[in-house]
């Protein structure tokens, strides 16, 4: 793409953007003077769709009107409520509807998946994670090892960038598997790394893991609603994600879970069970042996919080209207523009650590600013930019294609330049 460094050019891109009217479907935070902020933090908490309030209000109204009968008599009955989310969610992560369910929260789902898919033996018990994995994932994996009586110092293998590099290389994962593959029980990789913004080749990782007899799972916290992970096609055994980052479903909202269809009827897998995973026909008889639903739904534990589900439903409807292919296609252009403008600063203290290749990243760019400290981030905030700071010297900015535009990106770089 041939970009140009001018406000006029950014505005002309916005005028031509087929998704431009989606920006008006979101609520933007403002500063104390009432000016709209430049919000580039969808990687941490996505903005609120205007319709979310209406969707939640509907459930409050039905609760007021029907009480317990709302389970069957609400406009959107609560008993099967999670089913209303499945189709749209499946499209976004590239899965079959039976492979996807919205339930619990991300770290809970990660534990549930490891109960089923991390089955250590005397000789095959190690777990591989990428070295800069999100702390919660690392704690979850380490605690699973300990739960099985294993020492994380021995059982956890880190896939690390080489000395002096920021990104992980696939060849290095191949090398680990070539030497220790028959000791590895599980590869648990973040699909898109929260710190560097690097997206990993999910299908190649899955094939590598399976070739050596390991299970493979992904954490899509920074992938869902951002990249196109094509989960079914990767062949991964499981995946988990949250819905409050790129999926705009509100703070602490529920997570998603993918279980590949090859496991959908496998009742021999160990699993922590609850009544919502039980056969819908006999769930309320209460006296049956646990009879798991086929597919991802069979891992549900509890009847879900409908108010949170309503917020997810509102957001997924916005995505469905936009079409996820269009969202991703705009995202590549928008982040490409951010990259072009940052390069155009010609500032040798600035280093984009996120991969340059668009297949290897989502919308986020992680900008390392040498010799900077958190004061830089504070100044950006004072200048009306909401971004995210990671010690020691990285600003993460994530233009979200549904509500950010080319002018936001241009304006951000102008303000950054002034501060630098
Ligand atoms: C955001 C994030 C989490 C947060 O987990 P919760 O259980 O939703 O609090 C975990 N892992 C990764 C990789 C994340 O990016």
DSSP one-letter string for 124-154: --EEEEETT--HHHHHHHHHHHHHTT--HHH
- Indicate whether 183 belongs to any domain: yes
Model pLDDT, residue 335 = 98
Q: For residue 242, give the ligand 1 atom closest to its CA.
A: 8
What is the value of pTM for the model shown? 0.96
| Domain shared by 269 and 176, yes or no | yes
Q: How far, in Å, CA of 155 to CA of 164, rounded?
A: 26
| Domain shared by 153 and 72, yes or no | yes
pLDDT in tens, 35-85: 999 999 999 999 999 999 999 999 999 999 999 999 999 999 999 999 999
Which of 291, 320, 349 marks a domain boundary?
320
| Domain shared by 354 and 298, yes or no | no
82 touches ligand 1 (CB under 6 Å): no
| Domain shared by 208 and 124, yes or no | yes
Backbone phi, then psi, for 277, in 5-degree steps? -90, 0
Model pLDDT, residue 281 = 86
| Domain shared by 407 and 337, yes or no | yes
For the chain, give percent helix, strand, coil, nearest 5. Answer: 45, 15, 40
Backbone phi, then psi, for 375, in 5-degree steps? -60, -35
- Indicate whether 2 belongs to any domain: no
220 touches ligand 1 (CB under 6 Å): no
What's the 62 CA to ligand 1 centre distance in angstroms?
Answer: 32
- Indicate whether 205 belongs to any domain: yes
Model pLDDT, residue 237 = 98
Using alpha carbons, select from 79, 37, 5, 6 the residue that is nearest to residue 309: 79
| Domain shared by 165 and 207, yes or no | yes
Range of the domain at 387: 7-50+324-419
| Domain shared by 96 and 181, yes or no | yes
- Indicate whether 1 belongs to any domain: no
Tokens of 204: 């190649």
pLDDT in tens, 136-146: 999 999 999 99
59 touches ligand 1 (CB under 6 Å): no
Which of 272, 299, 320 marks a domain boundary?
320
Distances (CA, A) of 74 to 58, 71, 78, 203, 302: 9, 6, 7, 41, 19
Model pLDDT, residue 132 = 82
Q: Which residues pair with 258 in a beta bridge?
A: 100, 239
Model pLDDT, residue 135 = 86
205 touches ligand 1 (CB under 6 Å): no
pLDDT in tens, the chain (420 residues): 799 999 999 999 999 999 999 999 999 999 999 999 999 999 999 999 999 999 999 999 999 999 999 999 999 999 999 999 999 999 999 999 999 999 999 999 999 999 999 999 999 999 999 988 788 999 999 999 999 999 999 999 999 999 999 999 999 999 999 999 999 999 999 999 999 999 999 999 999 999 999 999 999 999 999 999 999 999 999 999 999 999 999 999 999 999 999 999 998 899 999 999 999 888 887 777 899 999 999 999 999 999 999 999 999 999 999 999 999 999 999 999 999 999 999 999 999 999 999 999 999 999 999 988 899 999 999 999 999 999 899 999 999 999 999 999 999 999 999 999
Which residue has tokens 């995973």? 277
Burial 274-311, CB ≥16 within 10 A → b, else e? bebbbeeeebeeeeeeeebbebbbbbbbeebebebbbb
Q: Could you tell me which residues are annotated as the binding site for pyridoxal 5'-phosphate?
A: 106-107, 134-137, 219, 222, 244, 275, 303
Backbone phi, then psi, for 123, in 5-degree steps? -105, -20
Looking up residue 94, the CATH number of its domain turns out to be 3.40.640.10
17 touches ligand 1 (CB under 6 Å): no
| Domain shared by 263 and 122, yes or no | yes
| Domain shared by 31 and 137, yes or no | no
Q: Per the structure, how many domains does the chain have?
A: 2
Q: How far, in Å, CA of 73 to CA of 94, rounded?
A: 32
| Domain shared by 363 and 295, yes or no | no
Nearest CA residue ID for atom 2, ligand 1: 221
Model pLDDT, residue 284 = 82
111 touches ligand 1 (CB under 6 Å): no
Which of 303, 320, 337 marks a domain boundary?
320
Beta strands in 198-353 (DSSP E): 215-219, 238-242, 255-259, 350-352
Looking up residue 41, the CATH number of its domain turns out to be 3.90.1150.10
| Domain shared by 255 and 310, yes or no | yes
Asked if 246 and 224 count as a contact pair (C-beta separation under 8 A), the reply is yes
| Domain shared by 197 and 250, yes or no | yes
């Amino acid at each position: 793409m041939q970009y140009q460094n001018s406000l006029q050019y950014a505005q002309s891109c916005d005028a031509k953007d087929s998704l431009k009217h989606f920006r008006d479907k979101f609520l933007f935070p403002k500063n104390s003077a009432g000016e709209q902020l430049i919000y580039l933090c969808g990687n941490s908490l996505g903005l609120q769709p205007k319709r979310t309030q209406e969707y939640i209000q509907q459930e409050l109204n039905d609760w007021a009107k029907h009480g317990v009968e709302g389970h069957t008599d609400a406009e959107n009955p609560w008993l099967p409520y999670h089913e209303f989310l499945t189709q749209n969610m499946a499209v976004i992560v590239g899965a079959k509807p039976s492979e996807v369910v919205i339930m619990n929260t991300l770290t809970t789902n990660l534990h549930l998946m490891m109960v089923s898919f991390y089955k250590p033996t005397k000789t095959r018990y190690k777990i591989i994670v990428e070295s800069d994995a999100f702390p919660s994932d690392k704690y979850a994996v380490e605690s699973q090892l300990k739960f099985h009586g294993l020492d994380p110092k021995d059982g956890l293998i880190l896939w690390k960038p080489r000395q002096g590099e920021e990104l992980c290389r696939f060849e290095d994962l191949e090398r680990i598997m070539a030497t220790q593959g028959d000791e590895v029980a599980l590869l648990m990789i973040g699909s898109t790394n929260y710190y560097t913004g690097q997206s990993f080749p999910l299908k190649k990782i899955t094939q590598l893991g399976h070739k050596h007899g390991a299970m493979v799972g992904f954490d899509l916290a920074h992938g869902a609603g951002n990249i196109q992970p094509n989960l079914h096609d990767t062949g991964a055994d499981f995946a988990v994600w949250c819905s409050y980052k790129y999926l705009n479903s509100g703070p602490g909202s529920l997570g998603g879970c993918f279980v590949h269809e090859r496991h959908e009827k496998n009742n021999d897998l160990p699993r922590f069970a609850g009544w919502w995973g039980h056969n819908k026909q006999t769930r309320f008889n209460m006296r049956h042996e646990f009879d798991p639903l086929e597919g991802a739904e069979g891992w549900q534990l509890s009847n879900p919080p409908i108010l949170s589900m309503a917020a997810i439903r509102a957001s997924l409807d916005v995505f469905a209207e936009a079409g996820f292919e269009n969202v991703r296609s705009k995202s590549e252009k928008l982040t490409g523009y951010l990259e072009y403008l940052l390069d155009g600063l010609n500032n040798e203290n600035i280093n984009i650590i996120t991969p340059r290749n668009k297949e290897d990243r989502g919308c986020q760019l992680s900008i390392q600013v040498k010799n900077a400290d958190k004061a830089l981030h504070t100044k950006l905030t004072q200048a009306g930019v909401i971004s995210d700071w990671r010690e020691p010297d990285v600003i993460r900015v994530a233009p979200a294609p549904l509500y950010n535009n080319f002018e936001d990106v241009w304006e951000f770089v102008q303000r950054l330049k002034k501060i630098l």
